[in-house]
Structure 1
Amino acid sequence: MASHITDDGGRRAAARSCVRAVLLVVLVVAYSLVLRVVYTGLISGPFAYAGYTSVPQAWQDGVASTMLTAIVALLLPRRITCASDVVLWMMLGVCVGPAILMSGYTGYLDPAGAAAFSMLLAVVFSAAALAVRWRRDTGSALSTAPATAADSMLVGSRVVRRETLAWVLCGLYSLGTYGLMAVTTGFQFRLVALDEVYDVRAAYADDLAAGGGLGYLLSGQAYVVNAYVMIRALAKRAWPLFALGVVGQYLLYSTTGFKTVLFSIPAMVVIAVVLRRRRPRSGFPLLFGPVVLMVGSAIVDEAQGGITWTSLFSRRFIVTPGLLTSVYADYFSEHPVALWARSFTRFWVTSPYDTTPTKTIGQYMLPGSNVNANANLFADGYANLGAVGVVVIAAVLAAWLRVLDRWSRGLPVPVVGVLFVMSAVTLSNTSILTAMLSHGLLVATLLVAVMPRGGWGVLSPGEASALGKPERGQARRSFQRRA
Structure 2
Amino acid sequence: MSAARPERQLWPWNLAATVAYSLTLLIAYAHLVAPVYSYLGYTWVTPNYALLGLAVAELGALSLLLPARLRKPSDFMLLMIFATVVVPVLTIGNVIGLLTTAQIALLCFFTGAAFAVATLMARWGHGHVTATLPHLPARWYWAGVGAFIAATILILVAVGGVRLEFTGLTEVYDIRDDYKTSLAAFPPLAYMVPAACYVAIPLVIIRGLHRRSWVPVVVGIACQGFIYLQTGFKTFLFAIPVLLVLTVLIRRTIPTALLPAGLAAGVVGAGILDVVTNSVWFSSLFTRRFLATPGQLAANYVAFFDEHRFVFLSEGLLRGLITYPYDMPVPFVIGREIHGVTTNSSNVNLFGDGFAQAGWPGMLIAGVAFGALLILVDLAAKGLPASVGFMLMFLPCIVLGNASILTAMLSHGLAAAVLLLALAPRAGWTSARQDPEELGGERREGVMLGDPRDPDGATPRPFVLR
TM over 0.5: yes
CA contact (8 A) 2:41 2:339 kept: yes
1:92 aligned to which of 58, 65, 82: 82
Spell out, residue by residue over 1:191-250, the C-alpha distance to the aligned partner (whole angstroms, 9 max, x if none).
232233223223223323443322212122112111111122233344333221111010
Matched ranges for 1:42-61 at <5 A: 42-61=32-51
Amino acid at match of 1:390: M
Instruction: Work out the CA distance in 2 between the residues paired with 1:414 and 1:174.
Output: 22
Instruction: Work out the CA distance in 2 between the residues paired with 1:82 and 1:61.
Output: 34
CA contact (8 A) 1:174 1:221 kept: yes
What residue number does 1:240 align with?
215
What residue number does 1:367 align with?
340
Select between 409-418 and 373-382 the one with higher mean Cα deviation. 409-418
What residue number does 2:245 align with?
270
Instruction: Work out the CA distance in 1 between the residues paired with 2:234 and 2:87.
Output: 24
What is the TM-score of this pair, normalised by structure 1?
0.86
Instruction: Work out the CA distance in 2 between the residues paired with 1:356 and 1:374.
Output: 10
What residue number does 2:388 align with?
415
What residue number does 1:383 align with?
356
Closer, same or farther: CA 296–84 of 1 in aligned 2, 3 Å: same
Instruction: Work out the CA distance in 1 between the residues paired with 2:11 and 2:134.
Output: 44
Matched ranges for 1:86-125 at <5 A: 86-125=76-115
Instruction: Work out the CA distance in 1 between the residues paired with 2:281 and 2:337.
Output: 26
Instruction: Work out the CA distance in 2 between the residues paired with 1:121 and 1:306.
Output: 34
Deviation (angstroms), 1:340:
1.6
Closer, same or farther: CA 154–350 of 1 in aligned 2, 3 Å: closer
What residue number does 2:274 align with?
301
What residue number does 2:162 align with?
187
Select between 355-364 and 75-84 the one with higher mean Cα deviation. 75-84
Spell out, residue by residue over 1:22-61, the C-alpha distance to the aligned partner (whole angstroms, 9 max, x if none).
2221111111111111211111121111111111113222
Matched, 1:20 2:3: no
CA contact (8 A) 1:79 1:282 kept: yes
Amino acid at match of 1:100: L
1:285 aligned to which of 229, 249, 258: 258
Instruction: Work out the CA distance in 1 between the residues paired with 2:42 and 2:322.
Output: 33
What SS does the aligned partner of 1:457 have? coil
CA contact (8 A) 1:138 1:470 kept: no
Instruction: Work out the CA distance in 1 between the residues paired with 2:162 and 2:215.
Output: 21
Matched, 1:173 2:109: no
* Structure 1: tracts of 5 or more residues without a match: 1-8, 143-149, 476-483
Matched ranges for 1:191-202 at <5 A: 191-202=166-177
What is the TM-score of this pair, normalised by structure 2?
0.89
What residue number does 2:398 align with?
425
Instruction: Work out the CA distance in 2 between the residues paired with 1:341 and 1:474.
Output: 41
Spell out, residue by residue over 1:246-266, the C-alpha distance to the aligned partner (whole angstroms, 9 max, x if none).
110100111111111111111
What residue number does 2:303 align with?
330
Instruction: Work out the CA distance in 1 between the residues paired with 2:134 and 2:192.
Output: 28
CA contact (8 A) 2:159 2:182 kept: yes
CA contact (8 A) 1:201 1:257 kept: yes
What residue number does 2:30 align with?
40
Spell out, residue by residue over 1:127-167, the C-alpha distance to the aligned partner (whole angstroms, 9 max, x if none).
1110111152399x99xxxxxxx9xx755xxxx42x22431
Deviation (angstroms), 1:190:
2.8
Deviation (angstroms), 1:75:
0.8
What residue number does 2:293 align with?
320
Spell out, residue by residue over 1:398-450, the C-alpha distance to the aligned partner (whole angstroms, 9 max, x if none).
11211111111121122111111111110000111111111111111011111
Closer, same or farther: CA 154–412 of 1 in aligned 2, 3 Å: closer
CA contact (8 A) 1:274 1:285 kept: no
CA contact (8 A) 2:113 2:364 kept: no
Deviation (angstroms), 1:391:
1.6
Deviation (angstroms), 1:303:
0.7
Matched, 1:208 2:198: no
* Structure 2: tracts of 5 or more residues without a match: 436-448, 451-455
Closer, same or farther: CA 120–86 of 1 in aligned 2, 3 Å: same
Instruction: Work out the CA distance in 2 between the residues paired with 1:135 and 1:343.
Output: 28
Deviation (angstroms), 1:176:
3.5
What residue number does 2:62 align with?
72
Closer, same or farther: CA 197–71 of 1 in aligned 2, 3 Å: same
Amino acid at match of 1:82: K
What SS does the aligned partner of 1:76 have? coil
CA contact (8 A) 1:55 1:105 kept: yes
Deviation (angstroms), 1:364:
0.8
Count, aligned residues: 444
Deviation (angstroms), 1:13:
5.3
Deviation (angstroms), 1:17:
5.2
Matched, 1:399 2:399: no
Matched, 1:132 2:105: no
Instruction: Work out the CA distance in 2 between the residues paired with 1:77 and 1:311.
Output: 31
What SS does the aligned partner of 2:250 have? helix
Deviation (angstroms), 1:287:
2.5
CA contact (8 A) 1:273 1:414 kept: no
Aligned-pair RMSD on alpha carbons? Answer: 2.7
Instruction: Work out the CA distance in 2 between the residues paired with 1:71 and 1:445.
Output: 30
Instruction: Work out the CA distance in 2 between the residues paired with 1:309 and 1:470.
Output: 43
Amino acid at match of 2:312: L
Instruction: Work out the CA distance in 2 between the residues paired with 1:441 and 1:135.
Output: 19
Closer, same or farther: CA 344–356 of 1 in aligned 2, 3 Å: same
